[in-house]
Structure 1
Amino acid sequence: MTLNLLSQSKRFKTAPLPFVGQKRQFIGRFEKLLLNNIPNDGEGWTVIDVFGGSGLLAHNAKRLLPKTTVIYNDFDDYTNRLKHIPTTNALRQALSDILKHEPRSLKLSSTVKQQVLDIVKDFQSQGKFIDVQTIAGWLLFSGRQVADLDEFMAESTLYNRITKTDYELADGYLDGLVITCESFEQLLTKHQATPNCLLLLDPPYVCTTQSAYNLHERGGYFGMTKFLTLMHYVKPPYIFFSSTRSELLDYMSYVEQYEPHTWERIGGFERIVVKVTVNKGLGYEDNILAKF
């Protein structure tokens, strides 16, 4: 796609399909960081979305800086989910017919649950794509994730949380991106010497639940060893997404005190705090650490 057509295509402020941990609440601040620090529409720059996720950051980086080379590391096979949105919508419609008279967010009766599972099995028997992450959001308790369809089918309790409308087709969402799928070590090793290379870093939080990262066959638990390996590769410019639920800020404080050489490389960042509300009386802080 030419730069002119790219600039005219739709810019998404939220991911086309559900994705746990997508950075939609950060997009405004992310935009300011890019536009304030990277000139000339990004000409001569490379942006690497290292842990890719829904591709929302990569998508917005390419729309904001159309001359930039943006690499989207699709570690979670999100591009495949996007290709099958029409099939996902067809499944949603079939399930909605069953659930239209069921109370919202409440447990399904055993009869209705079996009807739901029969529809899913029918789609599976026809060889149709089933977006397990999306149907988990429709039918499992809020925030519950499963690794595969077998785990979903074995769930003892289902709920009616299905969306009321179809998903928009993601036309143009991935346009202009360089799409890859590899470990962060492989990806960052390739680009250690790439000039003007901005790293977008949104790794799993150390010492927290990491079910999404574990879903991928190349994933596994993102523990302290993987985190330290990642930090070995990190150098400015970078934008690091974190949370008070992670230990990144504690790590940075430790490095500042005990590892001056490492601090010289990664320290001196700008910290932007975003307060996230889960529900009334419950929330937490998310953070952006940026160094250009």
Structure 2
Amino acid sequence: MFLKYFERLLNENVPDAGEGWTIVDAFGGSGLLSHVAKRLKPKARVIYNDFDGYAERLRHIDDINRLRRLIFPLLSATEKGKRVHSDIKKQIINVIKDFDGYINEHILCSWLCFSGQQVSTLEELFKEDFWHCIRQTDYPTAEGYLDGIEIVSESFHTLLPKYQNDTKALFVLDPPYLCTHQASYKQTRYFDLVDFLRLIHLTRPPFVFFSSTKSEFVRFIDAMIEDKWDNWQAFENYDRIIVKTSTSYSGKYEDNMVFKF
């Protein structure tokens, strides 16, 4: 939802094709922000911190699609969104165990588990009830998606200090919500208060920081500025774009893009 604002921000603050700039996508996720940054600013150095191994998934889309095509017919007798019968579940597990290609438990979980469920291993997946949530079509090719982008894989608190004193290094920060469990990420513990404070301490302009009213990020930095806590100057006079969204009729919240150049 923030892509058009992110694109506008880059175009307004990173001149021309971005020559001389470094854009550090410290919580790279699917690589979407890195992809957009490189497309808009092709001469910039774009660093995608692929801490969760997403690039590996992209390299194996053919295998992922092949496995999907093996599982999909087994779900034909189950209504979309409904629980899978135990006999069908056993057949699906056998297909997965016999598959001779790349397997990713998080993708399988999105196909076979109730919405929002997370697993970290196939063993955990096989213990869950199965649901018919599999996508109806193959994933498209990702050819060229990460072309020209530098891929690294390390914690933000070792990555960001490398560029701390570079005034033309833009920090793009889209961390997990504070105190959310990381079962879908490589790290298995929470993104906790210590992680959050470490990130706040390392943040300096220019930065773009994505957050939500699901966490108290904006309230925290407002208190930082008001009470002049450590590193408060980095956030003073920040700008903010708000997008209102919802997970359900009653579950409304705000997503925020906080930035300073």
Report the TM-score when normalising by structure 1.
0.86
SS of 2:107 mapped into structure 1: helix
Q: What's 2:141 paired with?
A: 169
Task: Indicate whether 1:230 and 2:203 are aligned.
Answer: no
Task: Indicate whether 1:200 and 2:172 are aligned.
Answer: yes
Query: Which of 125, 144, 159 is the matching residue for 1:187?
Result: 159
SS of 2:224 mapped into structure 1: helix
Structure 1 residue 263, shift from structure 2 partner: 2.1
Ranges in structure 1 where 5+ consecutive residues have no aligned partner: 1-24
Q: Once the two structures are superposed, what CA deviation does each residue of 1:94-115 show, in whole Å capped at 9, x if it has no partner?
A: 1111112320000011111111
Structure 1 distance, partners of 2:247, 2:219, is 24
Structure 1 distance, partners of 2:243, 2:169, is 25
Structure 1 distance, partners of 2:176, 2:217, is 11
Task: Indicate whether 1:118 and 2:94 are aligned.
Answer: yes
Structure 1 distance, partners of 2:146, 2:180, is 30
Q: Once the two structures are superposed, what CA deviation does each residue of 1:115-157 show, in whole Å capped at 9, x if it has no partner?
A: 111111111xx3x2112111111110011111121211121x1
Alignment of 1:125-144 (within 5 A): 126=100, 128-144=101-117
Alignment of 1:203-222 (within 5 A): 203-212=175-184, 215-217=185-187, 220-222=189-191
SS of 1:272 mapped into structure 2: strand
Structure 1 distance, partners of 2:96, 2:152, is 30
> Which stretch has the larger CA shift, 227-236 or 271-280?
271-280
Structure 2 distance, partners of 1:264, 1:233, is 12
| 8 Å CA contact 1:239, 1:291 repeated in 2 | yes
Structure 1 residue 261, shift from structure 2 partner: 5.8
Structure 1 residue 209, shift from structure 2 partner: 3.7
SS of 1:290 mapped into structure 2: strand
SS of 1:275 mapped into structure 2: strand
| 8 Å CA contact 1:205, 1:247 repeated in 2 | no
| 8 Å CA contact 2:176, 2:191 repeated in 1 | yes
Q: What's 1:77 paired with?
A: 53
Ranges in structure 2 where 5+ consecutive residues have no aligned partner: none
Structure 2 distance, partners of 1:261, 1:132, is 41
Query: Which of 44, 60, 66 is the matching residue for 1:68?
Result: 44
Q: What's 2:120 paired with?
A: 147
Query: Which of 15, 20, 28 is the matching residue for 1:44?
Result: 20
Structure 1 distance, partners of 2:200, 2:249, is 36
Task: Indicate whether 1:289 and 2:253 are aligned.
Answer: no
Q: What's 1:268 paired with?
A: 237
Structure 1 distance, partners of 2:24, 2:209, is 12
Structure 1 residue 51, shift from structure 2 partner: 0.9
| 8 Å CA contact 1:208, 1:246 repeated in 2 | no
Structure 1 residue 281, shift from structure 2 partner: 3.9
Structure 2 distance, partners of 1:77, 1:49, is 14
> Which stretch has the larger CA shift, 190-199 or 89-98?
190-199
Structure 1 residue 267, shift from structure 2 partner: 2.1
Q: What's 1:22 paired with?
A: none
Instruction: Percent identity, please.
Output: 43
> Which stretch has the larger CA shift, 244-253 or 200-209?
200-209
Report the TM-score when normalising by structure 2.
0.95
Q: What's 1:108 paired with?
A: 84
Letter in 2 for 1:241: F
Structure 1 residue 183, shift from structure 2 partner: 1.0
